[in-house]
């Protein structure tokens, strides 16, 4: 997930959430960030392996593939937590003030 988008999502969560909820959010953010960091490291190592600087390109490519799939899953989990913690009423109101 893009770091700017990650910051925006976290900022959407009210400061008034409880410590358990904050811990849960922080754990999700940490997991997303750690996975993103590892993806960048593996990409760099894979480039090096493919340039002949050592390492198993196949092993690195397999790890990268797994990490990218995990990243998508972690991003979805984080989005769900943010939506849950920042839940606001979903009802729509027209100009006449009557909820849908």
| Nearest-angstrom CA–CA distance, 67 and 59 | 12
In a domain, 95, yes or no: no
Question: Quick one: pLDDT at residue 98?
Answer: 52
Domain total in the chain: 1
Q: What is the pLDDT of residue 11?
A: 92
Please tell me the predicted confidence (pLDDT) of residue 41: 98
Sequence-distant (6+) residues with CB within 8 A of 10 are 25, 29, 82
In a domain, 91, yes or no: no
Tell me what pLDDT residue 96 has: 56
In a domain, 24, yes or no: yes
Residue 90 domain-assigned?
Answer: no
pLDDT tens string, the chain, 100 residues long: the values are 888 888 999 999 999 999 999 999 999 999 999 999 999 999 999 999 999 999 999 999 999 999 999 999 999 999 999 999 998 433 444 455 555 4
* 94 in any annotated domain: no
**Upper half-sphere CA count for residue 21 (Cβ side, 13 Å):** 15
Residue 41 lies in a domain: yes
Owning domain of residue 68? 3-9+19-84
How high is the pLDDT of residue 55? 93
71 belongs to a structural domain? yes
In this prediction the pTM is 0.79
In a domain, 68, yes or no: yes
């Amino acid at each position: 997930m893009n770091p700017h988008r990650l910051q925006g999502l976290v900022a959407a969560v009210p400061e008034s959430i409880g410590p358990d909820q904050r811990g849960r959010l922080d754990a999700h953010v940490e997991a997303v960030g750690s996975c993103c960091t590892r993806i960048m490291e593996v990409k760099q190592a894979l480039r090096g392996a493919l340039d002949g600087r050592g390492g198993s390109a196949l092993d690195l490519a397999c790890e990268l593939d797994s990490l990218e799939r995990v990243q998508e899953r972690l991003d979805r989990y984080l989005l769900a937590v943010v939506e849950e913690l920042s839940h606001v009423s979903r009802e729509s109101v027209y100009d006449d003030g009557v909820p849908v």
